[in-house]
């Protein structure tokens, strides 16, 4: 989690390592709201940045929890060190350091600064690259201590982005790809130690703050895309591989779609595109009941992965017949050619082609919101593409049935996007964790 809204946030000042910034009244309020959202979860440990805006946030959260562990502060969770800029407003930084500010905005991993040394001199360093190393040290420290347990981490925007980026293996130039709202919740699932893969279950959840979707950034220019996975089918529930067999929603899937529709009811949707298959198409139609003026278009490139001979089979049946290939699919999916079906590169290519087509057709005169409803494999491929990942990272992103992800193009459709939120399922009323079916594709 990121700390609550601070005094420097309100003044639009650079915070970094500076510890003069404190929580605002609004920041304290949202910290308590976050604590209430986390009630019912049992934490094995709580780690916080020692900077007071984060430490107080952690204290306010823990005050809402039943028998929380004591808070352990560590310098490994300190915010990014922007030594030359700290305390300045962003406007002052842009005026005094125009070249550095442009680098920070467009290529943050290349930003170079000077910092004081213990001997009284100065040295050059790269703030973003140093922060990635700091994030890696944190994970290396805490993961071996808490296997199979749940821990709470309260820190800052920059270090949180780096923690997520290092865990998921995002390249350094994608530092700004993940947004962090004050007191938003991120959920990361580690199967083992760092480097053994991570599942990003959810990123930047804000519903507990009375904010169903994160707000667009000031000066937003490009489209906002709401990427939705279809609602549940009986085959999802049974762990039966669907692929391109046209399985309809079940009653639970229709109920999920109705809840997604209510969740997005007050969002001004300008256009809608769906895979032509029954399950996403019906999901989209249910959502658009509250947006009758929006025409639903279909895009065949968004169809689910073709599993070939696996389609229609239960996972247990596939394991009996294709044990080695199924195991490879789980561990190294990029190496699998589905028998009489597709491989991931083929899915990647057509998913990206569909995305670029959607962007090309987006309005440029004004920011618009586009609903895109597709499938688990398609959505995973797109999210990997948008964060600089390759097919071997296919399992990094969770996509629950009826979940909503938010992708913004704040600088225009021809510039790099930002993942504003990932895999929102809070509209199902089951809390911050995704409890949808973990079924087959």
For residue 437, the model assigns a pLDDT of: 80
Determine the Cα–Cα distance for residues 138 and 190; give it in Å rounded to an integer: 14
Give the C-alpha separation, 400 to 193, whole Å.
Answer: 24
76-95 burial: b if 16+ Cβ within 10 Å, else e: bbbbbbbbbbbebeeeebee
DSSP H or E segment with residue 405: strand 404-408
What's the confidence (pLDDT) of residue 120? Answer: 84
| pLDDT tens sequence for the chain (441 residues) | 999 999 999 999 999 999 999 999 999 999 999 999 999 999 999 999 999 999 999 999 999 999 999 999 999 999 999 999 999 999 999 999 999 999 999 999 999 999 988 888 899 999 999 999 999 999 999 999 999 999 999 999 999 999 999 999 999 999 999 999 999 999 999 999 998 999 999 999 999 999 999 999 888 999 999 999 999 999 999 999 999 999 999 999 999 999 999 999 999 999 999 999 999 999 999 999 999 999 999 999 999 999 999 999 999 999 999 999 999 999 999 999 999 999 999 999 999 999 999 999 999 889 999 999 999 999 999 999 999 999 999 999 999 999 999 999 999 999 999 999 999 999 999 999 999 987 666
Q: Which of 3, 109, 156, 230 is catalytic?
A: 230
Q: Where are the domains of the chain?
A: 7-83+130-209, 224-428
- The structure tokens 């947004």 sit at 179
CA distances from 389 to 282, 327, 378, 381, 395 (A): 30, 22, 14, 9, 11
Considering the candidates 56, 201, 304, 311, report the single residue annotated as catalytic.
Answer: 304
Given the structure tokens 């990932």, which residue do they identify?
422
Fold entry, domain 224-428: Rossmann fold (3.40.50)
The C-alpha angle with vertex 319 and arms to 316 and 320, in degrees rounded to 5, equals: 90
**pLDDT at residue number 441:** 67
262: CB partners within 8 A, 6+ apart: 290, 427
pLDDT of residue 95: 97
230 is catalytic: yes
Residue 195, pLDDT score:
87
The per-residue pLDDT for 25 is: 98
Residue 136: per-residue pLDDT: 98
Scanning the structure block, which residue is given the tokens 């399985």? 247
CA distance 142 to 47: 9
CATH, domain range 7-83+130-209: 3.40.50.1240
């Amino acid at each position: 989690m990121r700390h609550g809204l601070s005094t420097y946030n309100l003044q639009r000042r650079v915070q970094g390592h500076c510890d003069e910034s404190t929580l605002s009244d609004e920041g304290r309020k949202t910290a308590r709201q976050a604590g209430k959202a986390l009630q019912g979860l049992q934490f094995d440990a709580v780690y916080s940045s020692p900077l007071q805006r984060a430490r107080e946030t952690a204290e306010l959260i823990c005050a809402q929890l039943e028998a929380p562990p004591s808070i352990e502060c560590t310098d490994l969770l300190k915010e990014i060190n922007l030594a030359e800029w700290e305390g300045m407003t962003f406007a002052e930084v842009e005026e005094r350091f125009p070249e550095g500010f442009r680098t920070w905005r467009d290529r943050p991993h290349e930003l170079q600064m000077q910092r004081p040394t213990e001997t009284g001199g100065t040295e050059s360093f790269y703030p973003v690259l140093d922060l990635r190393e700091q994030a890696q040290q944190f994970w290396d420290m805490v993961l071996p201590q808490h296997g199979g347990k749940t821990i709470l981490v309260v820190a800052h925007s920059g270090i949180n982005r780096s923690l997520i980026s290092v865990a998921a293996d995002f390249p350094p130039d994608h530092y700004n790809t993940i947004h962090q709202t004050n007191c938003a919740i991120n959920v990361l699932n580690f199967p083992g130690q760092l480097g053994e893969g991570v599942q990003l279950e959810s990123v930047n959840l804000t519903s507990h703050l009375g904010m169903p979707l994160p707000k667009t950034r000031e000066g937003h220019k490009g489209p906002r895309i709401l990427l939705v996975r279809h609602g549940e089918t009986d085959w999802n529930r049974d762990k039966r591989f669907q692929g391109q067999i046209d399985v309809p929603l079940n009653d639970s899937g229709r109920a999920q779609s109705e809840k997604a529709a209510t969740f997005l009811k007050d969002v001004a949707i300008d256009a809608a595109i769906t895979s032509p298959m029954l399950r996403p198409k019906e999901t989209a139609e249910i959502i658009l009941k509250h947006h009758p003026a929006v025409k639903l278009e279909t895009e065949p490139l968004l169809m689910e992965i073709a599993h070939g001979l696996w389609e229609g089979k239960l996972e247990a049946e596939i394991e009996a017949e294709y044990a080695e290939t199924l195991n490879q699919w789980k561990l190294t999916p990029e190496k699998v050619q589905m028998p009489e079906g597709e491989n991931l590169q083929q899915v990647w290519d057509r998913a990206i082609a569909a995305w670029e087509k959607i962007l090309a057709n987006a309005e440029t005169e004004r920011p618009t919101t586009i609903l895109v409803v597709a499938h688990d494999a398609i959505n995973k491929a797109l999210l990997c593409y948008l964060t600089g990942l390759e097919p071997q990272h296919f399992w990094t992103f969770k996509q629950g049935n009826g979940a909503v992800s938010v992708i913004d193009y704040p600088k225009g459709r021809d510039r790099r996007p930002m993942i504003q939120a990932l895999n929102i399922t809070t509209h199902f009323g089951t809390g911050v964790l995704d409890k949808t079916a973990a079924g087959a594709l």
